[in-house]
């Protein structure tokens, strides 16, 4: 056992690494200075339990199959720092952080050098512990105070602020979960942000450990130890990164960079995606799917893709990955061709477990491609859906390559170019079950999320190799930090209710705060009875502003969530889906900025307005990028919406009415069933597709830039990204950035527009539009514009 009974001594310094040894010599404590504001701490007994990382990949868009050496510090600056070895302690100083390490009973005190504040303090009593004999794993105890708030931990249920709660990090499949209370959920995101109010500091802490774990954020109390929070992992090493930031946004961008770049998917993935379990479960699956296409046309519902649920693999009432049910689908390619001819892509559901009567089960068992039982002599049998089976072992290179071949031969060669990696929580309950672990053999205790990540990577590689000149598109339900390099994700199999709209939104904010940006929810609710007409509309209003917009269901009452399910609100649903397509240029610009600059898409208001303490009050609002404040309705019968407008010197415009409001106040705006309350930050420029959006013309693009000028005198600048939306040419810098400079006085608005880059835009002319209440003189690129009631002006570059 390691705890405060152990005393440490300074051992040596090797460049950025400081090593301490316990007086008994059995324990090691290491500190690595990676950046001026980023420090890593590792503690272990004997030798480290982990020699590689799958989570830490600074600025990378992929990692090696077997992970990265966790002692490879080459991606970091590893700056010079001061080190003082004193009696009973050591002190190190970077430009940003001063760290005091008490050697007797190891205890760390972190100081922000800019303001002199102690921003992180290990608990003064028994702050670290390894107690493997009791099966309790590793512990890290930290002092907490009542002036702190905690954010992150991914898609956790409940409020955005995690203070006073306790959470388990353990990937499960909780279908029909309660979005307010259920824990654990699908993902393993061992990272959170601490905000200290007043003039306090903001920092993040990431634990590079993939064991099942607990984050107690102040729920537990013990009179003998003061106020504290703690992290506990069942196994592995205590290995954590502390990142000090200028604010919450800075910390979020740091963790996103630290764990890898957000993949830039094809532009069509921002369109409406249909889905339901009902179609592929039906004996008439092909007929229902083709009927979906024809009904989209009939009802003029633009749709860009369809998520093909696992019923296409069925034998009887069970599911068998990579097996096509040829009674339902005599010719799968004919179906995918029919969808593509109508401008819609298919995305096929694939699962990482084979039931024991799967046609390929015997072959994989003979080759040893499954996760094995603790003896290593046979596959580890698990419950999977309505039977038992075994998970494939992606740490075995033969399995990894087999999976890639199956994806190519059973999915891609049928013309289905996207994979939906589902049911990949790897619920293996015997922690001593064995994986190949790249030829070294290891129990699954500490590595289950690696299997999920490698499943994504195998599917990603298959798609990249099959069409190297096109961007891959993948979806995954489970995952860990770093998943954003490969996939889009969503909050799993939610349950239909107004409450779910509210708390799914908060889950999305939690993922964004944790560096995972390309997200969404099952619009309409996946399980439970069908939504009411009003609830369905409110779900869609929320969904059209998230990067992933998918209406999906497996309703308990046998119904299907479809855009036309309620004829009485079909005109509203149609209008909302077309509004989504109008927003795609803006969402695509944000997706690129997430990829290239680590900027979150879905945000809490406090991410942009951290100095406004009122934004930290729990609310139902969210921002899309830094310009749109969305206030969707999340309660039945509501027809107006109160929304707090953060303190913004440039004020806010109501996108629907054009009215301008000062920041720092709560306003009440109309929220009829056919309208989404959206506020726009003053000074913003929003690119929109204002073409004639129909089922047949959804891919055509006519551009209008909505300009929301500053009242009075001011200058604002921004840039908007454009490329072909499908190829890898953006990696060769073949894109365009359209730069806006908007100068205002009380009498005049001057807009200067310039384009940079070699990509040829699909439009020669475009419109610039202003709020209808705007009465000032307008000049665009030096040309004074004639007065227009529409406030829309045609121009070109």
Q: What is the mean pLDDT of residues 123-130?
A: 87
Does 60 map to a domain? no
Condensed to tens digits (0 to 9), the pLDDT of residues 136-194 reads 789 999 999 999 999 999 999 999 999 999 999 999 999 999 999 999 999 999 999 99
Contact, 323 vs 315, CB < 8 A?
Answer: yes
Determine what percent of the chain is predicted with pLDDT higher than 90: 96
Residue 541 confidence (pLDDT) above 70 = yes
Q: What is the mean pLDDT of residues 23-28?
A: 84
Q: What is the mean pLDDT of residues 516-532?
A: 97
Task: Give the count of beta carbons closer than 10 Å to the beta carbon of residue 557.
Answer: 7
Does 252 map to a domain? yes
Locus of tokens 């527009």: 753
Does 726 map to a domain? yes
Locus of tokens 């009887």: 316
Condensed to tens digits (0 to 9), the pLDDT of residues 440-486 reads 999 999 999 999 999 999 999 999 999 999 999 999 999 999 999 99
Question: Cis omega (within 30 of 0) on the bond before 680?
Answer: no
Q: What is the mean pLDDT of residues 420-433?
A: 97
Q: What is the mean pLDDT of residues 198-208?
A: 93
Contact, 70 vs 239, CB < 8 A?
Answer: yes
Burial of 605 (0-12, 13-18, 19+ CB in 10 A): buried
Does 352 map to a domain? no
Q: What is the pLDDT of residue 2?
A: 45
Measure the CA–CA gap between 567 and 552, rounded to whole angstroms.
18
**CA distances (Å), 655 to each of 472, 545, 633, 706, in order?**
34, 14, 16, 10
Measure the CA–CA gap between 758 and 430, rounded to whole angstroms.
56
Q: CB neighbours of 199 closer than 8 A, spacing ≥ 6?
A: 115, 117
Q: What is the CATH number of the domain that holds 773?
A: 2.60.40.1180
Condensed to tens digits (0 to 9), the pLDDT of residues 656-673 reads 999 999 999 999 999 999
> How many domains, the chain?
2
Q: What is the pLDDT of residue 135?
A: 55
Task: Give the chain's end-to-end CA distance (angstroms, integer).
Answer: 69
**Cα-based angle 502, 504, 510 (whole degrees, multiple of 5):** 110
Q: What is the mean pLDDT of residues 570-581?
A: 98
Residue 515 confidence (pLDDT) above 60 = yes
Measure the CA–CA gap between 627 and 58, rounded to whole angstroms.
28
Contact, 673 vs 572, CB < 8 A?
Answer: yes
Q: What is the pLDDT of residue 200?
A: 83
Residue 3 confidence (pLDDT) above 60 = no
C-alpha torsion 501→507→508→509, nearest 10: 110
Q: How many CA atoms lie within 13 A of 601 on its CB side?
A: 29
Measure the CA–CA gap between 368 and 374, rounded to whole angstroms.
14
Q: What is the mean pLDDT of residues 580-604?
A: 98
Does 406 map to a domain? no
φ/ψ (deg, to 5) at 580? -60, -45
**Domain range spanning residue 239?**
79-259
Q: What is the pLDDT of residue 130?
A: 64
Q: Which DSSP helix (H) or strand (E) runs through 608?
A: helix 605-608
Task: Give the count of beta carbons closer than 10 Å to the beta carbon of residue 166.
Answer: 15
The domain boundary residue, chosen from 231, 259, 287? 259
The domain boundary residue, chosen from 216, 241, 259? 259
- Average pLDDT value for the chain: 96
Condensed to tens digits (0 to 9), the pLDDT of residues 703-716 reads 999 999 999 999 99
Q: What is the pLDDT of residue 5?
A: 47
Measure the CA–CA gap between 94 and 33, rounded to whole angstroms.
8
Does 614 map to a domain? yes
Condensed to tens digits (0 to 9), the pLDDT of residues 339-362 reads 999 999 999 999 999 999 999 999
Burial of 483 (0-12, 13-18, 19+ CB in 10 A): buried
Does 668 map to a domain? yes
**CA distances (Å), 651 to each of 550, 660, 717, 742, in order?**
33, 7, 16, 15
Determine what percent of the chain is predicted with pLDDT higher than 70: 98
The domain boundary residue, chosen from 220, 237, 259? 259
Q: What is the CATH number of the domain that holds 118?
A: 2.60.40.1760
**Cα-based angle 530, 536, 542 (whole degrees, multiple of 5):** 135
DSSP state of 560: -
**Cα-based angle 50, 51, 57 (whole degrees, multiple of 5):** 100
Q: What is the pLDDT of residue 4?
A: 43
Measure the CA–CA gap between 21 and 48, rounded to whole angstroms.
13
Does 323 map to a domain? no
Measure the CA–CA gap between 455 and 402, rounded to whole angstroms.
11
Condensed to tens digits (0 to 9), the pLDDT of residues 329-345 reads 999 999 999 999 999 99
Q: What is the mean pLDDT of residues 742-753?
A: 98
Q: What is the pLDDT of residue 131?
A: 63
**CA distances (Å), 254 to each of 151, 191, 258, 515, 547, in order?**
15, 12, 6, 8, 21
Q: What is the pLDDT of residue 516?
A: 98
Q: What is the mean pLDDT of residues 722-736?
A: 97
Residue 133 confidence (pLDDT) above 80 = no
Contact, 299 vs 563, CB < 8 A?
Answer: yes
Contact, 738 vs 766, CB < 8 A?
Answer: no
Task: Give the count of beta carbons closer than 10 Å to the beta carbon of residue 661.
Answer: 17
Condensed to tens digits (0 to 9), the pLDDT of residues 48-82 reads 999 999 999 999 999 999 999 999 999 999 999 99
Task: Give the count of beta carbons closer than 10 Å to the beta carbon of residue 537.
Answer: 21
Q: What is the pLDDT of residue 26?
A: 82
Contact, 206 vs 238, CB < 8 A?
Answer: no
Measure the CA–CA gap between 316 and 329, rounded to whole angstroms.
14
**How confident is residue 370, by pLDDT bands cut at 50, 70 and 90?**
very high
């Amino acid at each position: 056992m390691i705890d405060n009974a152990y005393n440490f001594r300074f051992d040596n310094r090797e460049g950025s690494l400081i090593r301490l040894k316990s007086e008994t010599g059995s324990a090691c404590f290491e500190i690595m200075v990676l950046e001026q504001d980023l420090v890593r701490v590792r503690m272990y007994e004997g030798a480290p339990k982990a020699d590689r990382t799958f989570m830490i990949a600074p600025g990378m868009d992929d990692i090696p199959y077997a992970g990265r050496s966790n002692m490879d510090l080459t991606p970091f600056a590893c700056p010079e720092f001061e080190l003082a070895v004193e009696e009973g302690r050591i002190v190190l100083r970077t430009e940003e952080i001063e760290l005091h390490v008490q050697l007797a009973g190891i205890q760390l005190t972190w100081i922000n050098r800019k303001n002199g504040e102690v921003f992180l303090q290990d608990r003064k009593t028994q702050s670290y512990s390894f107690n493997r004999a009791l099966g309790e794993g590793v512990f890290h105890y930290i002092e907490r105070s009542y002036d702190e708030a905690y954010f992150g931990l991914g898609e956790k249920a409940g409020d955005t602020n995690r203070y006073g709660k306790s959470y388990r990090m353990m990937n499960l499949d909780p279908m029909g979960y309660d979005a307010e209370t259920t824990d654990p959920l699908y993902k393993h995101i061992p990272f959170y942000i601490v905000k200290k109010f007043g003039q306090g500091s903001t920092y993040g802490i990431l634990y590079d450990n993939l064991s099942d774990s607990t984050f107690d954020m102040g729920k537990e109390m013990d009179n003998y130890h003061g106020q504290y929070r703690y992290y506990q992992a069942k196994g592995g090493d205590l290995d954590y990164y502390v990142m000090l930031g200028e604010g919450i946004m800075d910390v979020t961008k740091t963790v996103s960079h630290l764990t890898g770049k957000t993949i830039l998917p094809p532009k069509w993935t921002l369109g409406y995606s249909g889905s339901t379990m009902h179609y592929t479960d039906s004996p008439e699956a092909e007929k229902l799917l083709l009927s979906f296409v024809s009904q989209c046309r009939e009802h003029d519902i633009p749709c860009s893709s369809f998520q093909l649920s696992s019923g296409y693999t069925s034998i009887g009432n069970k599911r068998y990955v990579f097996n096509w049910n040829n009674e339902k689908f005599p010719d799968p390619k004919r179906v995918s061709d029919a969808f593509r001819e109508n401008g819609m892509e298919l995305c096929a559901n694939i699962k990482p477990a084979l039931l024991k009567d799967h046609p390929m089960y015997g072959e994989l068992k003979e080759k040893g491609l499954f996760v094995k039982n603790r003896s290593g002599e046979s596959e580890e049998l698990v419950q999977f859906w309505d039977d038992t089976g075994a998970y494939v072992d992606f740490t075995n290179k033969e399995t990894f390559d087999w999976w890639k071949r199956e994806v190519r031969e059973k999915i891609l060669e049928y013309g289905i170019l996207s994979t939906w990696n589902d049911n990949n929580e790897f619920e293996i309950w015997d922690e001593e079950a064995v994986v190949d672990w790249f030829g070294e053999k290891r129990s699954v205790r500490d590595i289950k999320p690696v299997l999920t990540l490698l499943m994504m990577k195998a599917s990603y590689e298959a798609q990249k190799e099959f069409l190297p000149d096109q961007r891959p598109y993948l979806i995954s339900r489970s995952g860990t930090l770093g998943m954003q390099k490969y996939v889009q994700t969503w909050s799993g199999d939610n349950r239909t209710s107004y409450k779910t709209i509210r708390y799914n939104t908060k889950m999305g904010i939690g993922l964004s705060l944790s560096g995972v940006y390309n997200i969404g929810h099952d619009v309409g609710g996946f399980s439970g009875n069908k939504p009411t007409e009003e609830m369905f509309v409110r779900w869609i209003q929320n969904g059209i502003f998230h990067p992933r917009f998918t209406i999906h269901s497996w309703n308990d009452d046998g119904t299907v969530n479809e855009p036309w399910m309620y004829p009485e609100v079909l005109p509203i649903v149609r209008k909302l889906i077309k509004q989504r397509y109008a927003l795609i240029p803006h969402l695509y610009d944000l997706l690129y900025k997430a990829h290239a600059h680590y900027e979150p898409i879905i945000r809490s208001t406090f991410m942009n307005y951290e100095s406004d303490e009122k934004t930290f009050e729990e609310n139902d609002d969210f921002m899309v990028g830094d310009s749109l404040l969305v206030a969707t309705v999340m309660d039945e019968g509501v027809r107006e919406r109160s929304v707090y407008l953060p303190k913004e010197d440039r004020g806010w415009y109501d996108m629907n009415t054009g009215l301008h409001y000062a920041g720092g106040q709560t306003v009440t705006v109309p929220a009829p069933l056919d309208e989404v309350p959206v506020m726009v930050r003053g000074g913003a420029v929003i690119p929109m597709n204002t073409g004639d959006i129909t089922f047949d013309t959804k891919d055509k693009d006519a551009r209008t830039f909505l300009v929301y000028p500053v009242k009075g005198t001011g200058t604002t600048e921004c840039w908007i990204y454009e490329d072909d939306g499908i190829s890898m040419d953006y990696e060769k810098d073949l894109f365009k950035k359209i730069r806006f400079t908007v100068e205002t006085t009380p009498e005049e608005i001057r807009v200067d527009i310039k384009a940079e880059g070699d990509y040829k835009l699909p439009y020669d002319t475009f419109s610039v539009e202003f709020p209808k209440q705007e009465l000032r003189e307008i000049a665009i690129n030096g040309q004074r514009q004639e007065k227009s009631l529409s406030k829309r002006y045609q121009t070109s570059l």
